[in-house]
Structure 1
Amino acid sequence: MKITFFTHNTFLLKINNKYLLIDPFFSGNPFFEKKDYIKYINNIKKLDYILITHAHYDHVCDVEFFAKKFHNVLVISNYEIANYFERKGIKTYGINYGSFIFFPFGKLKYVWAAHSSVFSDGTYGGNPGGFLLHTNEGNLYISGDTSLMYEMKIIPNFGPLNISILPIGGRYTMDIEEAIIASNFLKCKKILGVHYNTFQEIQINKNEAKKSFYKKGKELILLELGEFIYI
């Protein structure tokens, strides 16, 4: 499994030669004020799925762009978000909190997140969530935007995690201290940090954040724009 990070909560997964884009946020992203985001969009040559955790602008604003660029892409999200984009002529697969569902890249479960979910036009975005992926290339938990939840303790019951992707910026989501507690709940030592430094309100000290995880016997991975890792 290859994980390429772009910005905020936007990253690309390559699993079993399938490409999954998570929460696309390029246009309108303040991170790209002095950078050419089109260059990074053009680096995405193939796309099979778009996974959306919730309806906030900083997670959905480029869904339509990618759906038009890659005509056969399938948008996977909760029932309400799927219906929203289906009405725009986009191919979708609506799910909710429930069982694993099998796809060519592996099996996927939509799981809980403690947050909110509404589109910029005021349309209700359903229950916010995250994704649990079990594949023959590894198991991955994508929490989405969430606070610390006791429900995270349920996740490892479905199988051990190779890596968890957690927000660490605070204010709207977990902060660093809470993400460490979450990693304990998840029984996961390797964390990819997201949802930080995009806006002024969620600035962190990256070196201090890594030290905090290290002191607890965990590894916090903070990738630069376009950087990738394999698990």
Structure 2
Amino acid sequence: MPRLTYYGHACIGIEVAGGTQLLFDPFVTPNGLAKAVEVDAIPADYVLLTHGHEDHVADAGTILRRTGATLVSNFEIVCWYQQQGIEKAHPMNLGGGFDFPFGRVKYVNAVHSSVLPDGTYGGNPGGFVVEAPDCSFYVSGDTALHCDMKLLGDRHSLDFAVLCIGDNFTMGPTDAALAAEWAGVKRVVGVHYDTFPPIVIDREKAKSEFAKRGIELLLPAIGETIEL
């Protein structure tokens, strides 16, 4: 059974079968809501970045250097980090998949934008479908609702999804609930909300939007670990 730890904003860690630690979009140090999280204690064997915005990559370089983890992201982001001395990295692009030791990862479409902290073009934003021995799940990254999400339900048997729900910059709860239905999941971990004033949500209202479709929305506390 996979274990998910929420580190605030869109940063999550997921431990899959065999103890492999997957860390997505590390943004902790600049996040005032995540002051209690010790960045130097976050485990990572792989760091997966959905796109280049600072609120998804702020702590990536530090964590990659400390842990020796492998970076997985799109080609442009991987090249940018390689120029900064990150050698363990695996580039991907939309529609492509790769078999890692812990399972298969596919880089899937997201409708958003992407630029790295210094203004460098960040390539196409994306999400990830991970198929490990003990679970299969979708991490949306920052995205609008789009019809490609229907393909996720058609082509994968997903156990859960991690979806942006904060509105304004991404899907809000209503669109995210429909995305979950299309993807064929019954459990969703919500991310990318409450960090900044434009994305503060009504949590109970958000849960009700998912409940209307028979889907459970989980909103773990920052630093909390849950089993899925």
TM-score w.r.t. length of structure 2: 0.95
* Partners of 2:69 and 2:176 in 1: CA distance: 32
- Percent identity of the aligned residues? 39
Q: Which amino acid in the other structure matches residue 2 of structure 1? A: R
2:80 is aligned with 1:84: yes
Within 5 Å, give how 1:157-168 maps onto structure 2: 157-168=154-165
Match of 2:150 among 131, 153, 167: 153
CA-CA distance at 1:138 after TM superposition: 0.8
2:25 is aligned with 1:23: yes
Within 5 Å, give how 1:177-192 maps onto structure 2: 177-192=174-189
Moved over 6 A (4+): none
SS at the partner of 1:118?
A: coil
CA-CA distance at 1:216 after TM superposition: 2.2
* Partners of 2:179 and 2:95 in 1: CA distance: 21
2:55 is aligned with 1:53: no
Q: Once superposed, what is the RMSD of the aligned Cα atoms?
A: 1.2
* Partners of 1:5 and 1:14 in 2: CA distance: 12
Q: Gaps spanning 5+ residues in structure 2: where?
A: none
The count of corresponding residues between Structure 1 and Structure 2 is 225
Contact 2:51–2:125 (CA under 8 A) maintained in structure 1: yes
2:7 is aligned with 1:10: no
Contact 1:30–1:199 (CA under 8 A) maintained in structure 2: no
SS at the partner of 2:157?
A: coil
* Partners of 1:193 and 1:18 in 2: CA distance: 22
Within 5 Å, give how 1:74-223 maps onto structure 2: 74-90=70-86, 91-223=88-220
* Partners of 1:162 and 1:141 in 2: CA distance: 9
TM-score w.r.t. length of structure 1: 0.94
SS at the partner of 2:62?
A: helix
Q: Gaps spanning 5+ residues in structure 1: where?
A: none
* Aligned residue number for residue 227 of structure 1: 224
Contact 2:10–2:191 (CA under 8 A) maintained in structure 1: yes
SS at the partner of 2:148?
A: helix
Q: Which amino acid in the other structure matches residue 212 of structure 1? A: E
SS at the partner of 2:47?
A: strand
* Partners of 1:64 and 1:55 in 2: CA distance: 12
SS at the partner of 2:185?
A: coil
Q: Which amino acid in the other structure matches residue 117 of structure 2? A: S
SS at the partner of 1:178?
A: helix
* Partners of 1:123 and 1:211 in 2: CA distance: 40
